Structure 1
Amino acid sequence: MTKRLFNFSAAFLLLFLVGCKSTQDIQKVVKEASTFEKLASIKNVIKIEKRSPVSHFNENYEIWFEQPVDYSDASKGTFQQKVYVGFENNTLPVFVELQGYGIYTERAGELATHYNSNQLTIEHRYFNDSRPENIEWNTLTIENAAKDQANIINAVRDAIYPNAKFITTGISKGCQTTMAHRRYFPENVDACVCYVGPLNYEREDPRVYEFLKNVGTKEERTKIADFQKLCFENRAELLQILKDTAKKTGMTWEFGVEKALDYTILEYSFAFWQWGAKTENIPLQATNPETIYNHLISIVGYGFFETESVEDLQPYFWAALTQQGIYGYETAPFKKYLGTDEVYKFDWAFPEGISKEYDLKPMQEIKSFLDTDAQKMMFIYGEYDAWSATAVELKDDAQSRDMYKFVKSKGDHRTRIKSFSKEEREKIYAIIDSWLK
């Protein structure tokens, strides 16, 4: 739907309202307006398209909001932010999927599916389709993002869901987004369900290193470390395979192919636990470099370090390196191969020509909020997920504020409510049910 067609629809509705003779007539017209017309009438909606229904939704819309680049400086202009509305019924709850990245699907998530309900999906500023041509990097803050989300939630609620319950939810960085939105706008929604999201206290949070030294069994950790050593022992052969692959595919790395291999080997342990790999599949007896290489890449992939992927992920790296935190790689166990025991960091992932000191304050403020004031929030984690190293820790009085945390035994980063036992699922949904009454 073009902007021109949208303007015609909104103008037609306005003329219709002007022609009404009484307040009752106007109320009747507004009540009978279609969902499309109500959404199109939102002040800062600049484009709207009715799409084919997906999941259980009766109607499905792609909407574009015009948002301030910086809420403290209007002179910096605006950007366009993508949103999906999966509409089922305006009396049912609305589950707001706060993306930490771009929108990867318009289909119903776990909660909207369970409740056969409505869903509002908000793409994070500066990711995917909501990325302006030239990013003003210093405006990519968790507070600006939270204001984006509050604007959209308020507008959509007023337009089509004035009496519905709203629950925000997010996965991984989306969980971080959900926590931040709740901290800045604690009354904006009724409750929150956060999945597998870290709450880092430093840029390279050392709790990650301690986690990797203790997760799983000693035998499992030894196998993982032995495989990393096997990779370094076969480094020359693996490097040649990586170079050959890069030549065929056009892959490049900002810090060079040799560093790319080292970072990939160091990332292996974190990725292994994050995605729930199996130690029995580690090829420790392999003498064929191809077998070693293929297993390494099957766990780590290319997408965290390769130039094009880093460009796509640059908003993630900016947020991690300036406010939300990340981790580094301890090299001491591999000093024999690397010639150093200094922690490998992600400074190279800053946008070209710009960097910024890490600000401890935002995550500390979220922690303080969760410890003292937050209400009606639930956290879902997998025990073995590497990001559980910096999981939210709830205080002893948390349950008195309707704060809950559920950890799936041996679960990984794909842990969801459906991952738990029937008994635990019933307990989780009983809490959410109480929030929806």
Structure 2
Amino acid sequence: MRTKVLPALFCAGLIATTGVLAGNAASAAPRGSSAVAQDATVREKLEKIPGLRIVSETQKEGRPFFTLMLRQPVDHDRPWRGSFEQQFTLWHKAETAPVVHYTGGYTLSSSTREITRLLDANQVSVEHRFFGKSVPAGRTDWSKLTIQQQAADEHNIVRALKRIYPAKWLGTGASKGGMTQTYHERFYPEDLDAVVAYVAPNDADNRDDRVYDEFFATVGTAECRTALDAVQREMLVRRETIRPLFEATSKEQGLTFRQLGSTDRAYEFSVLDQVWNFWQSGSAADCPTVPDAKKATDRELYDWSLGHGLSIYSDADAGPEGTGPYYRQAAAQLGWADLKFKHLRDVRNHPDIYQPNSLLAADMRTRYSGWDAKDVDRWVNKKGQRMMFVYGQNDPWSAERYRPSKRDSHLYVAPDTNHGALISKLTPEQRAEAEATVKRWAGVK
């Protein structure tokens, strides 16, 4: 859950957590003769890859930038049962340069990644299956939206492009994209030379989420935590007078709540997520702005909350064309944080609501299986090699993290940082160490 800001992540490149530059690819800048010759060679090689279609070719920072589609099986175990085209982009620097393979975990984002800049690398950015334009025609078989199927998609892309780029390949991604990259490494460990995953949640045991409650009992200062809990509680105590403000905002934005079942259920769901979102996207510097819950008016509480974590979950957001595919994955394999909300128990109307199936249409709902998450967790901890995980100290998603093996793998926590943790936000000593490791893995001095 908590993906009203995961969609906020999703909307900004998952969302700008590891992006250094938005990097608009379209540019009319003329090319020199040498660039044209090299570009033609790369294009010709791309055109020879079976199942690959060049959608467009532009320029990004003076280098060729391709939008591509690769034909993929809907079911890699039964490839004869239909196919779809998966969208991805290629920012070409040089055939001899390293390749950064980026997964955002949602729709396509081609923003320049932190390690792409560090290595002056080529960058391949992949849209997740069943998001955006990477969707089969007709009725979607949601049972094929699995971590194994997406890993196989990425394996096909890497295998195809290694015909052109024989140098080192490093995988990267943030949040759900970091998870996606970790799954790829688990199932196809020979594809990539190393992985750098940012703020990648690891809900290895979906039945035991005590670590999240412990996080909210210790993050920030006691004064800030108490003030946030008081605002969250007061939003439910005064639901009869504040909910109409929520309804007015929803009407103004054309939002509906058929999947959640009622406006009251939608309102409660949004309030439950409020403190999580505060810490995911904000910081301790926002604590002085928290209003006095008892003294603030309904309007003051509502307006402050809208700007500090109260996100409205609607049918459009959680539908098949929005972030519904993420909620389906969470309900099926990824898991979710099931918080206790002890300070809200007596003011909740809908104790069953806080889980991803609540946000899904009936044909997308499913049962959870925890086997896959446990398997990946064990593999990363025991067998993973050349894996780096970067987390944020004040990020709720970073509370339950991967613990990499001792096989040339590393874990870093950026101090006083939220879901936007980066290598550049580590302490100077750790930053130097991490950057040196990434360069070593890439074979770059």
TM-score tier, shorter chain, comes to 0.7 to 0.9
When residues 436 and 242 of structure 1 are mapped into structure 2, their CA distance, relative to the original with a 3 A threshold, is same
Deviation at 1:329, TM superposition (A): 4.0
**Structure 1 CA distance for aligned equivalents of residues 403 and 111 of structure 2:** 31
- Three-state SS of the structure 2 residue aligned to 1:194 is strand
**Pairing 1:420–2:426 present:** yes
Q: 2:74 aligns with which of 59, 64, 69?
A: 69
When residues 343 and 128 of structure 1 are mapped into structure 2, their CA distance, relative to the original with a 3 A threshold, is closer
**Pairing 1:43–2:47 present:** no
Q: Note the residue ranges of structure 2 that are not aligned, 5 or more in a row.
A: 1-36
* 1:32-181 → structure 2 map (5 Å cutoff): 34-51=41-58, 53-54=59-60, 56=61, 58-104=63-109, 106-133=110-137, 134-158=139-163, 160-162=164-166, 164-181=167-184
What's the counterpart of residue 296 of structure 1?
305
What's the counterpart of residue 347 of structure 2?
337
Question: More deviation in 411-420 or 200-209?
Answer: 200-209
**Structure 2 CA distance for aligned equivalents of residues 183 and 320 of structure 1:** 18
What's the counterpart of residue 254 of structure 2?
250
Deviation at 1:33, TM superposition (A): 5.7
Aligned-pair identity in percent equals 26
Deviation at 1:165, TM superposition (A): 0.7
CA contact (8 A) 2:65 2:92 kept: yes
What's the counterpart of residue 265 of structure 1?
271
Deviation at 1:219, TM superposition (A): 2.1
CA contact (8 A) 1:331 1:340 kept: no
Question: More deviation in 414-423 or 380-389?
Answer: 414-423
**Structure 1 CA distance for aligned equivalents of residues 162 and 414 of structure 2:** 34
- Three-state SS of the structure 2 residue aligned to 1:119 is strand
**Pairing 1:219–2:223 present:** yes
**Pairing 1:282–2:290 present:** yes
What's the counterpart of residue 402 of structure 2?
392
What's the counterpart of residue 25 of structure 2?
none
Which whole-Å deviations, capped at 9, do the CAs of 1:34-58 have from their partners, x for residues lacking one?
Answer: 111111111011343212x22x461
- Three-state SS of the structure 2 residue aligned to 1:66 is strand
What's the counterpart of residue 4 of structure 2?
none
What's the counterpart of residue 16 of structure 1?
none
What is the letter of the counterpart of residue 288 of structure 1? T
What's the counterpart of residue 365 of structure 2?
355
What's the counterpart of residue 182 of structure 1?
185
Which whole-Å deviations, capped at 9, do the CAs of 1:11-54 have from their partners, x for residues lacking one?
Answer: xxxxxxxxxxxxxxxxxxx9996111111111011343212x22
**Structure 2 CA distance for aligned equivalents of residues 87 and 344 of structure 1:** 44
What is the letter of the counterpart of residue 78 of structure 1? S
**Structure 2 CA distance for aligned equivalents of residues 42 and 172 of structure 1:** 31
**Structure 1 CA distance for aligned equivalents of residues 352 and 339 of structure 2:** 9
CA contact (8 A) 1:57 1:88 kept: no
CA contact (8 A) 2:277 2:308 kept: yes
**Structure 2 CA distance for aligned equivalents of residues 343 and 352 of structure 1:** 15
When residues 183 and 318 of structure 1 are mapped into structure 2, their CA distance, relative to the original with a 3 A threshold, is same
CA contact (8 A) 2:281 2:418 kept: yes
Deviation at 1:204, TM superposition (A): 5.8
> How does the TM-score come out when normalised to structure 2?
0.85
CA contact (8 A) 1:63 1:83 kept: yes
The higher relative CO (CA closer than 8 Å, separation ≥ 6) is in 2
**Structure 2 CA distance for aligned equivalents of residues 408 and 149 of structure 1:** 29
Richer in helix (by share): 1
- Three-state SS of the structure 2 residue aligned to 1:60 is strand
Deviation at 1:167, TM superposition (A): 0.2
Deviation at 1:249, TM superposition (A): 2.0
What's the counterpart of residue 317 of structure 1?
327
> How does the TM-score come out when normalised to structure 1?
0.86
Q: Note the residue ranges of structure 1 that are not aligned, 5 or more in a row.
A: 1-29
What is the letter of the counterpart of residue 299 of structure 1? H
Q: 1:228 aligns with which of 226, 232, 237?
A: 232
When residues 204 and 237 of structure 1 are mapped into structure 2, their CA distance, relative to the original with a 3 A threshold, is farther
What is the letter of the counterpart of residue 199 of structure 2? V
Deviation at 1:170, TM superposition (A): 0.6
- Three-state SS of the structure 1 residue aligned to 2:424 is helix
**Structure 2 CA distance for aligned equivalents of residues 379 and 390 of structure 1:** 12
Deviation at 1:143, TM superposition (A): 0.4
**Structure 2 CA distance for aligned equivalents of residues 391 and 203 of structure 1:** 13
**Structure 2 CA distance for aligned equivalents of residues 141 and 57 of structure 1:** 37
**Structure 2 CA distance for aligned equivalents of residues 374 and 244 of structure 1:** 50
